[in-house]
């Protein structure tokens, strides 16, 4: 059987004009191995392994990369690795969370938001970011209403430094609020957690984009004997028509290929 890919299965990210693969590659494991919630330990890949994984992702039809300042050295490693390829990728990064010396800290002020985006542009060696998400600490409504972060992202979009912005939150109220002024929301949705479905449905009604985090429950999705948790997870997630793409972080080429093949089969099997 020939390897199934995601070529030809791109979908719009809401009304942003961005066309993205239904699977995005999360790159936390490119730059950070502390304080990550995976069931097994891992070694951060060297440059050759990382470059090979990015090349495989492109071959498999993935064009969406997810990174963040909170992902350790992910951004600064991706910059050199993506030289000469910028037009082939939709790059999403974040603002709000910093990670240093094994600890996270948060700053949603306008000054830090602008500084963070400018630093991401420098690290990623690009003139624009396709998407910037606010990396919430859980106080979703306070961030959206009081910090000035979202307003600053709107300014950066008008200036052409970013093409779209949104919110990676932890509450339904935050997700719904974020869609009012933003282009998309990133929500948790998997076999175990579906509380944020109202956000997905609201985005579909408003023509806004939805990215899914933890679609495979950070590697913890488990079903009974003989059942493929990846297939079941993707069938559940993409059963919601408002979903644009699911971000899955892996540094294992076999896992990546299996995820892509499974998702392609799930999507193309739908009527």
Q: CATH no. for residue 121?
A: 3.20.20.100
- Given this model, what pLDDT does residue 87 score? 95
Q: What is the predicted pLDDT for the residue at 255?
A: 94
First to last CA, the chain: 22
Q: Give pLDDT < 70 ranges for the chain.
A: 1-3, 35, 37-40, 218-226, 270-271
Note the pLDDT of residue 63.
98
In a domain, 1, yes or no: no
Cα–Cα distance measured from residue 24 to residue 95, given in angstroms and rounded to the nearest whole number: 19
pLDDT score of 102: 85
Q: What Rg do the C-alpha atoms of the chain give, in angstroms? A: 17
Q: How many domains does the chain have?
A: 1
For residue 225, the model assigns a pLDDT of 58
Residue 179 lies in a domain: yes
For the chain, how many residues are written? 271
User: Does 200 reside within a domain?
Assistant: yes
Within a domain: 3: no
The Cβ of residue 65 has, within 10 Å, a number of other Cβ atoms equal to 23
Q: Is the separation of the CB atoms in 92 and 64 below 8 Å?
A: yes
* Confidence (pLDDT) at 131: 98
Considering the domain boundaries, does residue 136 fall inside one?
A: yes
Give φ, ψ of 215 to 5 degrees.
Answer: -60, -30
Question: Looking at residue 57, what is its pLDDT?
Answer: 98
Q: Which of 30, 71, 108, 167 is catalytic?
A: 71
In sequence order, the 6+-apart residues with CB closer than 8 A to the CB of 71 are: 27, 28, 30, 31, 32, 99
- Whether 4 is covered by a domain: the verdict is no
- Per the annotation, the verdict on 71 as an active-site residue is yes
Name the burial class of residue 40, with classes exposed (0-12), middle (13-18) and buried (19+) by CB atoms within 10 angstroms of its CB. exposed
Q: What pLDDT was estimated at residue 37? A: 65
What is the span of the domain harbouring residue 169? Answer: 9-267
Return the pLDDT at 222.
Answer: 58
Is 67 a domain residue? yes
Look at residue 33 in the predicted model and tell me its pLDDT. Answer: 82
Amino acid 1: pLDDT: 35
Copy the structure tokens of residue 2.
């020939």
Asked if residue 2 belongs to a domain, the reply is no
pLDDT in tens, 17-42: 999 999 999 999 999 887 676 556 77
**Structure confidence by residue, pLDDT tens digits, 48-90:** 999 999 999 999 999 999 999 999 999 999 999 999 999 999 9
């Amino acid at each position: 059987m020939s390897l199934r890919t995601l070529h030809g299965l791109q979908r719009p990210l809401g009304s942003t004009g961005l066309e993205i693969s239904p699977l995005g590659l999360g790159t936390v494991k490119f730059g950070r191995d502390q304080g990550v919630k995976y069931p097994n330990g891992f070694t951060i890949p060297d440059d050759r392994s990382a470059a090979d994984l990015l090349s495989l992702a492109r071959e498999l039809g993935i064009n969406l990369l997810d990174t963040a300042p909170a992902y350790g050295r992910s951004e600064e490693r991706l910059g050199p690795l993506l030289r000469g390829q910028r037009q082939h990728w939709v790059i999403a990064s974040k603002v709000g969370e910093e990670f240093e010396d094994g600890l996270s800290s948060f700053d949603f002020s306008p000054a830090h938001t602008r500084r963070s985006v400018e630093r991401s542009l420098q690290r990623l060696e690009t003139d624009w970011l396709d998407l910037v998400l606010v990396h919430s600490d859980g106080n979703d409504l306070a961030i959206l209403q009081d910090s000035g972060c979202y307003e600053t992202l709107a300014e950066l979009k008008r200036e052409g430094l970013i093409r779209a912005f949104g919110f990676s939150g932890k509450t339904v109220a935050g997700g719904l609020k974020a869609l009012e002024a933003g282009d998309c929301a990133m929500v948790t949705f998997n076999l175990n957690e579906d509380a944020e479905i109202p956000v997905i449905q609201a985005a579909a009604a408003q023509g806004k984009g939805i990215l899914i985090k933890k679609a495979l429950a950070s590697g913890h999705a488990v079903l009974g004997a003989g059942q493929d948790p990846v297939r079941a997870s993707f069938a559940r997630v993409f059963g919601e028509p408002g979903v644009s793409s699911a971000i899955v972080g892996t540094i294992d080429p076999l896992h990546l290929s299996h995820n892509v093949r499974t998702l392609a089969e799930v999507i193309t099997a739908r009527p």
